[in-house]
Structure 1
Amino acid sequence: MRRFKRTLVAAALTTTVMAGTAGWAVGGEQTAVTGPPAGAAAWRADHFLHRPLPDPATATPREVARFFAVLDDTRRHDLAARHPLVVGNLDGTPIPLRYEANRLALTAERERERARAADRLLPAHERERAGELAGRYERLLAPGRQILAFDPRGRGQLAEVYGDWAAARRTAVVVPGSDIDLASFDRTKDRFGTPAGMARSLLAEMTRQAPDTPAAVIAWAGYTTPVGVGLDAATGRLAEAGAARLDRFLAGLSALAPAAPPAVFCHSYGSVVCGLAARGLDGAEVADVVALGSPGMRADSASALHTGARVWATRRNAADWIGRVPHLRLFGLGHGADPTSPDFGARLVPSDGAHGHSDYFAPGTGSLRHFAEIALGTYAAVS
């Protein structure tokens, strides 16, 4: 009974500690974006090829890949032009075609928001918001950017490739935690806590360590993240929705037969998403799952993840506030065992030089150096 009471107290403290840390505000409940891409209904109804198009809700990424493999370039480009939001987000679609489709989708959204910003019939705050969105889309359309996914629904979701994915022999995917969306994807403040900053830094370190090995990294912000630290961050509801999307995304990469399966780096709440997504993933789809700044992975041990991937946990630095969050799971609160504990059984990654919750990818840190070694497959160097 005493132990049970202590557990109840810890459960109550989980959100209290998290909400009172680092000045973060308690966030409101978010509505998860789920299901097929926007525009799926129009895609299903389109018979210009005189045969059904693969249903975004039911077709597997491998079926999508086989569908596009038999189309000529003209038909592929036609589909991207007719249904950019579907083609740009349909896992299993050839990656260059997704870049093309997402440029079309971003251009259309930019023009729509520009028109709203100039519409004097709208309230001033709506025009201002539209102008900000138009500017954001304009930045994403900058030459050289490779947008692999773009969904304007909700707070907006995005994935971007750094490096040449088609030529890469070593690859990685970065999965971020709370407060990440279209607006914060590549913000300049706290940049090593953003998916874009983490991915760029990891690719630079991989290139520094192995300049002759072609590498690429994807920053994946393809799920609805918690805002602030409140019940959304302390429960697995958004993580469950995000895990389904991450599973499909990784299966889509695997369907396109890359040179090597990626290492997946999961920051903060992103490690909850990865813990749920890892179940059933085999070594052909993901080589490594790396948790960092983790509140837990919704599993009691690495073996309980039932994945063929290697499971790693990054040692927390003393200034990382996540270390003050109780590692438990009770009545839906909390995310379970500490992945860095000996009983969990993950391979440990040192993080010397890192400071705080969002500094693990900062240049010069031991954690970044070891992350690159994991992504490059030089495991013996990770001490």
Structure 2
Amino acid sequence: MTAAGYRVAPARLDAVAGEFGSRVEALSAVVDEKVPATAFGQVSESAAAAKTFEQTMTELGGKLEAHAARLRTLQSGLVASAAGYRRADAQVAAMYRALLPEEPLPRAGNPAGIGGAADTGAWAHAIAGNRVKVADALTAERLRLASLTDGDEIARSRARIGLYEDILAHDRQILRFDPAGNGRIAELVGHIEPGTRNVGLFVPGVNTQLANFDAYAGLGRSLVAADPSGRTAVVVWADGVFPQGPVAQGPDASYARAMAPDLKAFADDLRGEIASHAGPDVTLTAIGHSYGGATVGLAETRGLDVDRVLHVESAGMGHGVWSPSDLPPSQAGVQRFSMTAPLDPIVLAQGNAWGLEWTGIGHGADPDVFPGVTGLPTGRDADGDPLWGLSSHNDVLKPGSESWTNIYRVLTGGPR
């Protein structure tokens, strides 16, 4: 099959399956709608009309239920077919990769990489300095925990302590660190060194804080571990003040406005570190999840220096970004991708604030339909269940899911 025919088939099947699902919901709503007993009045002549209406609606309801059942069957078949296409595609790709294995990079103490024995650069100094800061924060947090009485605060404090202990025990590469408030942090997972080919810059979303940072760092670890050649690295960037609560603060663009300049400056630093440690032939991909997508989008308006952008369950293209003309010329060559699971509530934020952005609310256009953006399916999780609804918002980041596989594919060269 050609690329134009074969590779787009799963996405088209998913789209049709989604349409069938919407029609099933509409039919079910009609069947479930009831007419009140008083609708025909209280006169005796209305009784016959009411009985006739009830009989007619019962017959129609049965027919609608039969049509809905057929649509559900077709929907299940389409979803299964799409999954089959992707499994076959992945198997063929794996066969070709097995025929052309890459030589793994040597791991001799990472002497030429960031933070290695021979590295005297700015980030090496930052990693060493942040190790001291984390140790101090651990001591302070243990003292703070002893005085806490609120259950939620105790849980968050323990989570912070667990993070600090793990950073120190495993000599993790912390590039930015500030424990004040909800905390700010950025971590390099993997190595940026001669031979590195792909670097990801992951930006999480609403509710991000030190207490849950390890969940996002785990995504970085899974993506790096998936490349057996060791040529992929990921920076997990949470060096900002994130909104807490999707309803209370999530629609507010001020957080993204404040983070975007810092993210742009960090990406510039990252480009410099990549150039000095790995050379020019490295692809940098920004991955924005949820509110992080809107933050990446606003950073693009400032000239975010990346080769690819991937929106994952993204809140939008960025406050005020409604068309490619809203982006500077520097972004003309950026490849963009987007994925949103069916019925993820984030769709309420995507492209729905037109006319309201003057109030500071909203995150621009829907990335899934933005011109030039390649749409990717979220598919199924590791157990083979479709990703949809509220839980899909974070489940798309879990290893083993088709969505995670698409994230990895974009990071390492685009969908195959």
- Using the TM superposition, give the Cα deviation of residue 218 of structure 1 relative to its aligned residue in structure 2, in angstroms: 1.2
1:309-355 deviation line (CA, Å, top 9, x unaligned): 524232322142212446233132222221111x5331222322252
**Counterpart amino acid of 2:292?**
G
Please name the residue that 1:172 is paired with: 200
Please name the residue that 1:267 is paired with: 289
- Using the TM superposition, give the Cα deviation of residue 274 of structure 1 relative to its aligned residue in structure 2, in angstroms: 0.4
Please name the residue that 2:187 is paired with: 160
Please name the residue that 1:200 is paired with: 221
Residue 341 of structure 2 is aligned with which of 300, 303, 317? Answer: 317
- Using the TM superposition, give the Cα deviation of residue 108 of structure 1 relative to its aligned residue in structure 2, in angstroms: 1.8
**Counterpart amino acid of 2:264?**
D
Equivalents in 2 of 1:226, 1:311: separation in Å? 28
3-state SS, counterpart of residue 249 of structure 1 = helix
Equivalents in 2 of 1:347, 1:135: separation in Å? 39
Q: Do structure 1's residue 97 and structure 2's residue 125 form an aligned pair?
A: yes
Please name the residue that 1:353 is paired with: 380
3-state SS, counterpart of residue 340 of structure 1 = helix
Please name the residue that 1:296 is paired with: 316
Contact persistence 1:195–1:220 (CA under 8 A): no
Structure 1 residues 109 and 130: alpha-carbon distance in aligned structure 2, compared to 1, 3 A threshold:
farther
3-state SS, counterpart of residue 245 of structure 2 = coil
3-state SS, counterpart of residue 312 of structure 1 = strand
Structure 1 residues 332 and 114: alpha-carbon distance in aligned structure 2, compared to 1, 3 A threshold:
closer
1:141-189 deviation line (CA, Å, top 9, x unaligned): 1224221211112210111121112342211111000001101101xxx
- Using the TM superposition, give the Cα deviation of residue 293 of structure 1 relative to its aligned residue in structure 2, in angstroms: 0.5
1:1-383 → structure 2 map (5 Å cutoff): 94-115=122-143, 132=158, 133-167=160-194, 168-186=196-214, 194-205=215-226, 207=227, 211-212=228-229, 214-256=231-273, 257=275, 258-259=278-279, 260-281=282-303, 285-298=305-318, 299-306=321-328, 307-308=331-332, 310-325=334-349, 327-329=351-353, 330=356, 331-341=359-369, 343-353=370-380, 355=387, 356-377=392-413, 379=414, 381=416
Instruction: Name the one with the larger helix percent.
Output: 2
- Using the TM superposition, give the Cα deviation of residue 221 of structure 1 relative to its aligned residue in structure 2, in angstroms: 0.9
Contact persistence 2:219–2:397 (CA under 8 A): yes
Structure 1 residues 142 and 237: alpha-carbon distance in aligned structure 2, compared to 1, 3 A threshold:
same
- Using the TM superposition, give the Cα deviation of residue 248 of structure 1 relative to its aligned residue in structure 2, in angstroms: 1.2
Structure 1 residues 309 and 235: alpha-carbon distance in aligned structure 2, compared to 1, 3 A threshold:
farther
Structure 1 residues 135 and 202: alpha-carbon distance in aligned structure 2, compared to 1, 3 A threshold:
closer
Instruction: Give RMSD over aligned pairs.
Output: 2.9
- Using the TM superposition, give the Cα deviation of residue 109 of structure 1 relative to its aligned residue in structure 2, in angstroms: 2.0
Contact persistence 1:281–1:309 (CA under 8 A): no
Bigger Rg over Cα: 2
3-state SS, counterpart of residue 262 of structure 1 = strand
- Using the TM superposition, give the Cα deviation of residue 368 of structure 1 relative to its aligned residue in structure 2, in angstroms: 2.2
Question: How many residues of Structure 1 are paired with residues of Structure 2 in the alignment?
Answer: 274
Structure 1 residues 344 and 262: alpha-carbon distance in aligned structure 2, compared to 1, 3 A threshold:
same
In structure 1, list runs of 5 or more residues that go unmatched. Answer: 1-72, 77-92, 187-193
**Counterpart amino acid of 1:297?**
M
Equivalents in 1 of 2:333, 2:306: separation in Å? 6
Please name the residue that 1:44 is paired with: none
Contact persistence 2:283–2:307 (CA under 8 A): yes
TM-score if structure 1 supplies the norm length? 0.64
